[in-house]
Amino acid sequence: MGADELARAIEQVKVRLSVTTARLHAGGASAEAGILEAQVLMLEDPALLDGARVLVIGGTPADVAVAQTMAPFAAMLRASPDPVFQARAADVDDVVEQVRRALHGLSDVPPLPLQPSIVVARDLAPSQTAGLDRTLVVGFATEQGTATAHTAILARALGLPAVVGIPGLVDAVADGQPLLLDGDEGTVLVDPPPDAIPHLGTRATLVVDAEPAITRDGRRVEVGSNAANLEDAQRAAAAGADGIGLLRSEFLFLGSDQLPTEDEQVAMLEAVTEAMGARPVILRTLDVGADKPLPALPQPPEANPALGVRGLRLQLLRRPDLLADQVRAALRVAAKHPLRLMFPMVSTLEEVRQAKAILAAAAKDVNAAGANGPRMPVGIMVEVPAAAIGADLLAREVDFFSLGTNDLTQYLFAADRTNPELGPLADSLHPAVLQMIDQVVKAARRHGRWVGVCGEMASDLWAVPLLVGLGVDELSVHPPMVARIKATVRQLNAADCAEVAAAALELEGGQAVRHLLEQRHLEPSSLRPRTDR
């Protein structure tokens, strides 16, 4: 590996860091973006470049040359009496490691989990932490690091609970084992006893707010929670969520090489609905495919899995029997609990009609068995642009819409949501996304339907005034965000938000929308609850 490869690798790392920096700036985490900017400066330092190049020309392998050139700098920081400088040594090591990985063509981002998970690692570099997909990583715990290390600071900026510095953790935890992570206490409980979970509600980890979220001018916004399993539902209940706005049913199917029976599904759904009591739970039918493989349901590989046979498509095209089992289980539970059903990845009216036909047949079976109850409300995820554009027709067929802004943004910009380099492109505050949402809400209103948002956008404090202004009825967020989002809603005036949202629809891009929010004092720092300031 010569000087040219070294120059290319350094350039590659600089580009990647600059992209992540832009994403952090866009998310309002400017102080944290500065950490990665400092790393870019290191890579532009002529002392480093020249020193490493000389070593490479002298025959030293490029990765060793970079490590040797940076070592004195890291050592100097480590020897400083100031803990702030000591922590910066890890940032230098991180830069060296990033260049090494780029030289060897290794990925910089840890492999993604299949369901929302806590990442457990010996160490995570700041650049890796910043690259974590927040839709799948709900927190992390590492053996190395300190609370003042940039990795932990970045985690806070990204809103991820993190515990660092637990020796022996990686060997103590198996893949898939339940963990209770308490970012405030700095504790990780492996295999927590069930009775440990409700106690979270009385601790600072989970701020509890069961009061309704009503804007200053009297508009109620439901603040529900997303859940991927029973523990999430228990946390959501403890946090005071108004319901479960998205129950990702994949969890019922993961972790086993057997598909769950209808009775097993009923038992799991009953546990979740019982945890929520009188509050509604929206069950999303299985959303898997080649992009989210299921051990129990192997599918042939596809060239473009995100555009392939996933979600409702898989159920209708290949496994209507699975959909029938799932909706029968849902109907049985809905007879006793406020359960609603939602289909993912809908593109056309025809798909909704087919799914409803399967539901109607299942309802006959359930009625024949005497387990019928009140009619179960049925909705769809609006996450494919064709569904957003066709919302007026679709609204005639369903009771509600839930905007899956993660996929809607991905498909609208044709930007793979797992590719960090495209993060800034797929900006959910871009007026193109806002226009889609506006269109969907207006179509829903014409037919007397309600609209929720269950993508990450609902947990984004920048987006809340816009979503309220566009007339969204429900926000479904991460359990720890429930109280914060409710507090934010209470500080808003819905009529003012509507005016700002209407203006945002006409702007040039996401940054212009953020500037408008700042001008109108609707950015996250102005909306922070008084007690946090």
CA dist 46 and 54 (Å) reads: 12
Residue among 14, 88, 235, 248 that touches ligand PEP (CB under 6 A): 248
Of residues 337, 430, 454, 478, which has the active-site annotation? 454
When asked if residue 291 is in the footprint of ligand PEP (CB under 6 A), the reply is no
By a kind-dependent CB cut-off of 5 to 8 A, residue 488 interacts, out of ligand PEP, Mg ion, none, with: none
Number of H helices and E strands in the chain, helices first, is: 23, 14
Q: Which of 363, 371, 449 is nearest to 403 (CA)?
A: 449
When asked if residue 32 is in the footprint of Mg ion (CB under 5 A), the reply is no
Size of site (CB under 6 A) for ligand PEP:
11
When asked if residue 229 is in the footprint of ligand PEP (CB under 6 A), the reply is no
Residue among 151, 234, 405, 428 that touches ligand PEP (CB under 6 A): 405
When asked if residue 383 is in the footprint of Mg ion (CB under 5 A), the reply is yes
Tokens at residue 259, please?
């598909």
Judged by CB, which is closer to Mg ion: 289, or 524? 289
Q: Which of 435, 434, 452, 360 is nearest to 397 (CA)?
A: 360
Judged by CB, which is closer to ligand PEP: 3, or 389? 389
Q: Which of 262, 296, 269 is nearest to 283 (CA)?
A: 269
When asked if residue 340 is in the footprint of ligand PEP (CB under 6 A), the reply is no
- Give the contacts of 261 (CB within 8 A, at least 6 positions apart): 325
Q: Which residues pair with 221 in a beta bridge?
A: 213
Residue among 407, 473, 474, 523 that touches ligand PEP (CB under 6 A): 407
Judged by CB, which is closer to ligand PEP: 189, or 306? 306
CB of 356 to Mg ion, least distance (A): 20
- Map residue 166 onto helix, strand or coil: coil
Q: Which of 136, 155, 153, 108 is nearest to 421 (CA)?
A: 108
When asked if residue 383 is in the footprint of ligand PEP (CB under 6 A), the reply is yes
Residue among 135, 144, 372, 491 that touches ligand PEP (CB under 6 A): 135
Residue among 406, 428, 459, 493 that touches ligand PEP (CB under 6 A): 406
CA dist 127 and 101 (Å) reads: 12
Of residues 150, 337, 430, 478, which has the active-site annotation? 150
Q: Which of 243, 223, 224, 346 is nearest to 285 (CA)?
A: 346
Q: Which residues pair with 380 in a beta bridge?
A: 343, 401
Judged by CB under 5 A, the chain residues 403 through 422 that form the site for Mg ion are 404, 407
Is 150 among the residues known to form the active site?
yes
CA 341 centroid distance within chain: 21
When asked if residue 285 is in the footprint of ligand PEP (CB under 6 A), the reply is no
- Map residue 309 onto helix, strand or coil: coil
Judged by CB, which is closer to ligand PEP: 363, or 485? 485
By a kind-dependent CB cut-off of 5 to 8 A, residue 455 interacts, out of ligand PEP, Mg ion, none, with: ligand PEP
Strand bridging mode 137-142 / 162-163: parallel
Q: Are 269 and 340 in contact (CB under 8 A)?
A: no
Judged by CB under 6 A, the chain residues 167 through 206 that form the site for ligand PEP are none
Residue among 454, 487, 497, 517 that touches ligand PEP (CB under 6 A): 454
Q: Are 342 and 283 in contact (CB under 8 A)?
A: yes
Judged by CB, which is closer to ligand PEP: 145, or 423? 423
**What percent helix, strand, coil does the chain show, rounded to 5?**
50, 10, 35
When asked if residue 452 is in the footprint of ligand PEP (CB under 6 A), the reply is no
Which residue numbers are catalytic?
150, 454
Applying CB under 6 A, the residues found at the interface with ligand PEP are 135, 246, 248, 287, 383, 404-407, 454-455
